[in-house]
Amino acid sequence: MFIHRRRGWEIPESAVTPREAVLNRRALMAGSAGMMAGSAAITAPALAQSGAVPPLPPHEINLRYQPGRALTSEREATTYNNFYEFGTSKTISREAQRMPRRPWTLKVEGMVERPLELDIDALIRAMPIEERVYRLRCVEAWAMTVPWTGFPLAALLNMARPLGSARYVSFQTAQLPAVMPGLRQSWYPWPHMEACTIAEAQNELSFMPIGLFGQPLPPQNGGPLRVLFPWKYGFKSGKSLVRIVVQEARPPTFWGTIQPAEYGFWANVNPAVAHPRWSQATERLIGTNERVPTQMWNGYGEFVAGLYEGLQGERLFA
Ligand SMILES: Nc1nc2c(c(=O)[nH]1)N[C@H]1C(S)=C(S)[C@@H](COP(=O)(O)O)O[C@H]1N2
Ligand SMILES: [Mo]
């Protein structure tokens, strides 16, 4: 078996051979270190009790989704964040370290054959874990490009088996008033809820990160578990999730409740559709501050444009 000396995103872009799956060496090493300490099944609950976050399991790098531009620095991606539960500034990363990521439970309920209540480490053991590099585009016109470790949202939904009549999926963020000062801003409609259609949730791009840059997902980026829809504006991708609900009616959303004229249900990236208060034609890459053209569907049209056929009457891009 071929093992890369370096992880895919450590190789200059020009040198990356598009291979479906490459072994993640650092994770492999972390995995063997874990085995020396005892089996994962024995160590994970003990770690959870101590509040410590276990290393990511060994996993492969999926090179199907080429970012087409350089990675953002890890430091920038983990210190420039939007996470209103911790405050409305971009510099909440230190404050967010107080959020405990173990133990952590995720519920999947509503219109499903098998409602789930899963301990995060049991969930991670059950899911097909891989790394993918995605572009992330905030509606405020900044963007980053980073390697996430996680699993397809579709794999989790398949485990819960949505009913045929299910049409929407909503994603609820944890509410931890002891460590989230932003929750005291009572004019916001807590808890943070965002939503998508079942077809969007089942799209191959819809991803549930548990890691970033080969490390367990930091609290400020939505650890221990978040969702990502890389073709939509970032506000649709809820952080630190505790509950996923499958339902028939379109769910209310956090930003749709605060300012429906500016932040709609669909929020797909489109350079030609301006936000009411600014252009979306270009975006600023955090770290370098370079301005680059915004891409239609954030560059993911080949995977997602088909989801919207017949929906042209909807406000798809705001
Ligand atoms: N619960 C919750 N999820 C959230 C947010 C938030 O304030 N609260 N901000 C969103 C916005 S506006 C963006 S752009 C992304 C930012 O993710 P990042 O900090 O990992 O870059 O998270 C999204 N998810
Ligand atoms: Mo955002």
Asked whether residue 84 carries a pLDDT value surpassing 60, the answer given is yes
Residues 181 and 124: their CA atoms lie apart, in Å, by 29
Strands 241-247 and 105-110: what pairing? Answer: parallel
> Look-up: residue for tokens 């790394």?
131
What is the rounded end-to-end Cα distance, in angstroms, of the chain?
46
Question: pLDDT tens, 43-70?
Answer: 556 766 778 999 999 999 999 999 999 9
> Is the distance from the beta carbon of residue 93 to the nearest atom of ligand 1 less than 6 Å?
no
**In angstroms, what is the span from residue 136 Cα to ligand 2's centroid?**
9
Q: How confident is the model at residue 112 (pLDDT cuts 50, 70, 90)?
A: very high
The overall pTM is greater than 0.85: yes
Closest residue by CA, ligand 1 atom 21: 81
Q: Which ligand is nearest to the CA of 88?
A: 1
> Is the distance from the beta carbon of residue 192 to the nearest atom of ligand 1 less than 6 Å?
yes
Asked whether residue 11 carries a pLDDT value surpassing 70, the answer given is no
* Architecture, CATH, for domain 2-307: Alpha-Beta Complex (3.90)
Asked whether residue 256 carries a pLDDT value surpassing 80, the answer given is yes
Helices 25-36 and 40-50 sit at what angle, rounded to 10 degrees? 90
- Answer for the pair 153, 213: CB distance below 8 angstroms, yes or no: no
Task: Give the rounded percent of residues in the chain with a pLDDT score beyond 90.
Answer: 84
Of 239, 221, 214, nearest to 56 (Cα)? 214
> Is the distance from the beta carbon of residue 235 to the nearest atom of ligand 1 less than 6 Å?
yes
Asked whether residue 206 carries a pLDDT value surpassing 60, the answer given is yes
Token pair of 74 as six digits: 């890890």
Of 108, 212, 207, nearest to 154 (Cα)? 207
Q: Which ligand is nearest to the CA of 90?
A: 1
Closest residue by CA, ligand 1 atom 15: 234
Task: Give the rounded percent of residues in the chain with a pLDDT score beyond 70.
Answer: 85
- Answer for the pair 187, 193: CB distance below 8 angstroms, yes or no: no
Residues 244 and 169: their CA atoms lie apart, in Å, by 7
Question: pLDDT tens, 122-176?
Answer: 999 999 999 999 999 999 999 999 999 999 999 999 999 999 999 999 999 999 9
Mutating to test ligand 1, I would choose from 139, 220, 237 the residue with most ligand atoms within 8 A of its C-beta, which is 237
- Answer for the pair 231, 269: CB distance below 8 angstroms, yes or no: yes
Q: Which ligand is nearest to the CA of 189?
A: 1
